[in-house]
Amino acid sequence: GINGRFYNSGPSTASESKTQDNKVRQGTGIALVIANIAKLNVKIYDTNPKQIEKGLDLINNLIEKEVSKQRITREHAESTKSRIGTISIIEELDDTNFIIEAVSENINLKCKIFENLDNILKKDTILATNTSSISITKIAAATKRPEKVIGMHFMNPVPVMKLVEIIPGLATSEETLNITKNLTAKMGKTYTQSQDVPGFIANRLLIPYINEAIIALEQGIGTKEDIDTTMKLGTNVPMGPLALADFIGLDTCLAIMKVLHNEIGDTKYRPAVLLQKYVDAGWKGKKCGRGFYQY
Ligand code: CAA
């Protein structure tokens, strides 16, 4: 079967979740923002029912935190909760208007899911994919509705980060693009639009920067603390590049770097040897308890 996770909304929105680790799942954050900020109904789907339960627990905790910090009222919290539903079989997505898929970054998996959804969904449903580096055009080509397929790249952690990159594929219609922009704005996010190229805008710039920081560490230009503090305080960002690499996941950074290297072909995108080594060692960052730092 499909090893995927979907968050789907009844009358109007939908999504799915991504990372394999059991910490931050992007789909959970997306569902929360849809219900809490956009005030739309949302349904969550995952092939693993345990993940749905975990997601709901996390959502409840985050909502209760908002109440305890007096940022939302009890009434608002209860209506947010009431807008979030779950489904147990993918066929229950048949009447949804908008799907956001957020499974792991595996092109074959994504294409298989989109092909399957294309057969299940009513014909005007929009299918968005939350990908950080896979071609939207390729995913769209797995369906018979490429004009209704679009990329929505959320940043981690989704409830906190203000940006969504929107990526139309080669065949995406203007209407699909506008509906997606409106939904993103309703979610309280700022969107930017990127061409469907490897890494889009965010990762085309961010991941080579992280890779360069790893090369700087490898070459002994500075200690990991000095590299991170230089960039954190020197450019006013919340985390230095090595801490950020741990936060994103070193396996994810490596995978994106490989996409840039393979698809653009320029040697300037060659992954740092040390990055590959850490991933080979299983030191994949925060989610594993060890990356450049220990957690
Ligand atoms: N879900 C929901 N809320 C979360 C969260 C999560 N996973 N993680 C942190 N938060 C919330 C906290 O609860 C806290 O909220 P309150 O103010 O209500 O208490 C707030 O975020 C700040 O968190 P902390 O006080 O614990 O810690 P912090 O101030 O150090 O912030 C951080 C943590 C938000 C992660 C901050 O360090 C940060 O912004 N880091 C950079 C993140 C970044 O660059 N993300 C993009 C990564 S790249 C990407 O996602 C794209 C890709 O394809 C690779």
Choosing from 18, 25, 153, 261, the catalytic residue is 153
Percent of the chain residues topping a pLDDT of 70: 92
Question: Residue 8: which pLDDT band, with cuts at 50, 70 and 90?
Answer: low
Ligand 1 centroid–CA 275 distance in Å is: 23
* ipTM over the 0.90 cut-off: yes
Q: What is the largest CA-CA distance in the chain?
A: 57
Indicate if the pLDDT at residue 76 is higher than 50.
Answer: yes
Spatial distance between the Cα atoms of 240 and 261, rounded to a whole number of angstroms:
23
Q: Assign 44 to helix, strand or coil.
A: strand
Cβ 207 vs Cβ 256: under 8 Å: yes
Ligand 1 centroid–CA 155 distance in Å is: 10
- Predicted confidence (pLDDT) per residue in 120-146, tens digit: 999 999 999 999 989 999 999 999 999
Q: Ligand 1, atom 20: nearest CA belongs to which residue?
A: 160
Spatial distance between the Cα atoms of 291 and 249, rounded to a whole number of angstroms:
8
Strand partners, 259: none
pTM of the predicted model as reported, rounded to 2 decimal places: 0.91
Average pLDDT over residues 53-80: 96
Spatial distance between the Cα atoms of 225 and 239, rounded to a whole number of angstroms:
11
What is the position in ligand 1's atom list of the atom closest to the CA of 237? Answer: 41
- Predicted confidence (pLDDT) per residue in 158-190, tens digit: 999 999 999 999 999 999 999 999 999 999 999
Indicate if the pLDDT at residue 60 is higher than 90.
Answer: yes
- Predicted confidence (pLDDT) per residue in 220-244, tens digit: 999 999 999 999 999 999 999 999 9
Query: Which of residues 266 and 95 earns the better pLDDT score?
Result: 266
Q: Ligand 1, atom 27: nearest CA belongs to which residue?
A: 238
Taking all residues of the chain, what is their mean pLDDT, rounded to a whole number?
92
- Predicted confidence (pLDDT) per residue in 11-33, tens digit: 333 333 333 444 447 899 999 99
Q: Assign 23 to helix, strand or coil.
A: coil
Please give all residues whose beta carbon lies within 6 A of any atom in ligand 1, as ranges.
Answer: 24, 29, 62, 69, 132, 155-157, 159-161, 202-203, 238-239, 244, 248, 252
Q: Ligand 1, atom 8: nearest CA belongs to which residue?
A: 157
**pLDDT recorded at residue 7:** 61
